[in-house]
A and B are shown apart, each in its own frame.
Chain A
């Protein structure tokens, strides 16, 4: 039972434009949400996170938005750069838990 869903397996965006990656979850007990970026043959790298008490968190070019009522979050990358081309994983954690539930990932391609 997939509790975290990334329904777009891939996304292609032009350099300089905005990339929007979406994530939906089903478990209302999730309180923490994290995004990871993964290049081939490397481990996932932590990118940005948000607590359920917030609806927005930003770090440089990366902003995460959380809509708790819709059980939906999104990652915005502005402006997109070719080096952003990677697989992005959305993950969620319960307040009482210590392990992450992951989505299947979205492969982002930023073209020059």
Chain B
């Protein structure tokens, strides 16, 4: 358990409406991520953050914005939701790992937010 909470867990919204997904972590991790998962695509990075007010784009960032005003919260906003943004969204954090066979960062995921845009 990486102490990640996503909200809402499920949401149905109409095309053109704004939507914000929240990721909250309790363990002071510096790096946070938003991924989306779609059939046939695996998980794709939307945006990530490497500190308060420090964010960068991932491979599928169009149509999304993020904000991180405090360490524990990373918000993903769809300014004007489209049907192509119907997906499962996963927040994640990165934690340094040092153990036999592996010394690097390990990324841990939240439980997901299911978003349907109708």
**Chain A interfacial positions (CB closer than 8 Å to B):** 4, 6, 31-32, 34, 36, 41-46, 49-51, 54, 56-58, 89, 91, 93, 95, 98-100, 102-105
Q: Is the CB of B104 within 8 A of A32?
A: yes
Which residue of chain A is the closest to B45 with respect to CB atoms? A99
Stretch at the interface among B12-20, B65-73, B74-82, B95-103: B95-103
Q: Which of B22-67 contact A (CB under 8 A)?
A: 31, 33, 40-45, 48, 50, 58
Supply 29 A–B pairs (Cβ within 8 Å), ascending by A: A4-B42, A31-B104, A32-B102, A32-B105, A41-B112, A42-B111, A42-B112, A43-B111, A43-B112, A45-B109, A46-B108, A49-B102, A49-B104, A49-B106, A50-B102, A51-B101, A57-B100, A57-B101, A58-B101, A89-B42, A89-B43, A98-B48, A98-B94, A98-B105, A99-B33, A99-B107, A100-B45, A100-B107, A105-B42
11 additional contacts, CB 8 Å, given A44-B109, A93-B104, A98-B48? Answer: A6-B42, A51-B101, A51-B103, A51-B104, A54-B102, A57-B102, A99-B33, A99-B45, A99-B58, A100-B45, A105-B42
How many chain B residues sit at the interface, stated as a range, is 20 to 34
Docked pose: A98 CA to B54 CA in angstroms: 14
- On chain A, the residues within 8 Å of B112 by CB distance are 41-43
The smallest beta-carbon distance between B90 and chain A, in angstroms, is 6
Interface of A (DSSP majority class): strand
